[in-house]
Structure 1
Amino acid sequence: MLHILTHDILPVFSMLALGFLLGRLGKINREEAAAVNRVAFLVLQPALILPLIARVDFGAFQLGALGVYALCQAGTFLLALMVARKVFGREPVEAWLLAMATVFVNSLLYIWPISFLIYGEAAALPITAIVAWDSAVSFAFFIITTDLMSNRGASAAQSLRRVGSNPVLGAILLGAAVNLAGLAVPEPVLTAMHFAGAGAAPLTLFALGVILSGQRIVPDGTVIGISAIKLLVFPALVFTALQVVPLPGTWAQMFVLNAAGPSGAMAFALAMLHGVRTDAIAPVIIWTSVLSLISLAALA
């Protein structure tokens, strides 16, 4: 457990911690970090996502397990949304993103590299399946719905143009089309995307750390409640639900490991992109990132 924590989990977490430290020391300011976050979100993440979706072997996935995981996501999301709105009185878009933070784990930028360090590519296939699901379906869903909720006064044509021009969503759709058509991505293109995509995780985590350093981190009721749903309710629900689905190898263990991971940076990135308040979303990401260190090491 200690070896996994020090050799596999903390090195990935260190980029967020470094950003937080440099932000607190005033070496990097919020505006600089926001610009880095925007570049990582709109340029580097598409380069990371497209080859993943284009080359993944969907036939190797345990679709029953993915279906159960998706149902657990839906149930947890609805619970968190109701709690954020009815119990803590948060505005609709903020409540939507807080609920997203309970089910959209930092799989692509955090759990995926950790699982590869620990188990290697073959053993990490379950995490790859979740990353593909969250990238192709969950993330696309939240990109579209958050955009529509944040621009209620826009016409249907304006909304369609804005959503259609999102490069992350474009990368997801293009990758899926290439995969389903059985096409091969040219090697020079793959090389360029791998070169660019390698910077997506560290830059996003670093920028997030800088931005979070300027936030109030003392948890209030909203932060405690949403973090508890993320770290306790969601993994417990996934663990319980998967007991009725027979799975080979490490599939069940990896699904629970992923569910126990910290809240994804994407909820924060979408909040920044659409001007949604982040005084609750940011601490949720901080506390779930810190508190999940021990649980991830134990589950791994």
Structure 2
Amino acid sequence: MLSVLTGNILPVFSVLALGFILGRAGTVSEGEARAANRIAFLIFQPALIFPLVAKYDASTFPIVALALYVAAQAICFTLAYLTARRIFGREHGESWLLGMAVVFTNTLLYVWPISVLIYGAAGATPITAIVAWDSTVSFAFFIISMELIAGKYGTGAAVRSMGRNPVLMAILLGLVVNLSGLTLPAPVETALHYAGVAASPLTLLAVGIILSGSRLTPTPVVAGISALKLLLFPAMVWALIAVVHPSDPAAPQFLLAAAGPSGMMAFSLALLHGVRTDAITPVIIWTSLLSTVPLALLA
């Protein structure tokens, strides 16, 4: 437990803490942080996602458990969206992204390294399946839906904007390369890896800077959405697998993934589309902090 905590989780948070310190000290402004987040999303995220999608081997994925995980995502997203919209009275776009924060776990940056450490690269296939799903279908869904929700000039403009979105283009191109059986040239793969590793620290730094100007005391909406992420989503994944496919050997890793913290992408999309972040950002921070113990225990 201690090695997982100190070796995988806390080093990532050092970048977040650095952003917080820089923001509080006034060294980096919120405007600069928003610009950094935009660069991370539009430039470094495609470089990270494209080679991952291009090299996935879907034939090794535990399809039944993955389908149940996706069903849990759909149920919990709907409940979280309705909770944010009807109970807490948040706007449509913000409620949508709060729902995303409940079901879009930080699998790639947190849970995947932990699972590889415990099970080895070959044994971490269930987590790889979730990363594949979230980095292609789930992520594309939220990108497209937010373009439509935030579209200021109608559906046509939103569709044109989607056609120019580098992340969507990276997902589509990665799928084409994957399905065609092509192999990425070594220099291209090296360049993509070099750029892709910047996506996570730059986003974490931006989150820390913006958080430095926010209240850390959890509001009712932050507490409610965080509870849905940390309690309802893992419970739903466990219940569906226990009822439908209880003997699935992949179940522990799917539960591990569900127990992870909210991913940064809800925050990135909020900044990209001008959606308020006073609830989304603390949800990401609090779920990241509070999930460390259950993650270490489940691992």
Deviation at 1:183, TM superposition (A): 1.2
* Cα distance in 1, alignment partners of residues 119 and 15 from structure 2: 21
- Equivalent residue, structure 2, for 1:210: 209
* Cα distance in 2, alignment partners of residues 36 and 176 from structure 1: 28
Secondary structure in 2 matching 1:277: coil
* Cα distance in 2, alignment partners of residues 240 and 103 from structure 1: 16
CA contact (8 A) 1:16 1:208 kept: yes
Q: Any gaps of 5 or more consecutive residues in structure 1?
A: none
Q: Percentage identity across aligned positions?
A: 60
* Cα distance in 1, alignment partners of residues 215 and 147 from structure 2: 26
Deviation at 1:107, TM superposition (A): 1.6
Q: Any gaps of 5 or more consecutive residues in structure 2?
A: none
CA contact (8 A) 2:19 2:206 kept: yes
- Alignment of structure 1 residues 130-209 onto 2, 5 Å: 130-151=130-151, 153-156=153-156, 158-209=157-208
1:237 paired with 2:236, answer yes
CA contact (8 A) 1:8 1:117 kept: no
Deviation at 1:118, TM superposition (A): 4.0
Listed one character per residue, the Cα deviations across residues 83-133 of structure 1 (whole Å, up to 9, x for unaligned) are 111111111111111111100111223322333344432222221111110
Listed one character per residue, the Cα deviations across residues 240-261 of structure 1 (whole Å, up to 9, x for unaligned) are 2122325665x21111111111
Letter in 2 for 1:21: I
1:93 paired with 2:110, answer no
CA contact (8 A) 1:109 1:201 kept: yes
TM-score, normalised with respect to structure 1: 0.95
* Cα distance in 1, alignment partners of residues 133 and 152 from structure 2: 28
- Equivalent residue, structure 2, for 1:18: 18
Q: How many residues are aligned here?
A: 298
User: In 2 relative to 1, CA 110–24 (structure 1 residues): closer, same or farther, beyond 3 Å?
Assistant: farther
- Equivalent residue, structure 2, for 1:222: 221
- Equivalent residue, structure 2, for 1:286: 285
CA contact (8 A) 2:65 2:248 kept: no
Deviates more, 1:34-43 or 1:130-139: 34-43
* Cα distance in 2, alignment partners of residues 25 and 142 from structure 1: 34
* Cα distance in 2, alignment partners of residues 129 and 155 from structure 1: 32
Secondary structure in 1 matching 2:174: helix
TM-score, normalised with respect to structure 2: 0.95
Runs of 4+ in structure 1 off by over 6 angstroms are: none
Deviates more, 1:198-207 or 1:110-119: 110-119
User: In 2 relative to 1, CA 192–247 (structure 1 residues): closer, same or farther, beyond 3 Å?
Assistant: farther
- Equivalent residue, structure 2, for 1:252: 251
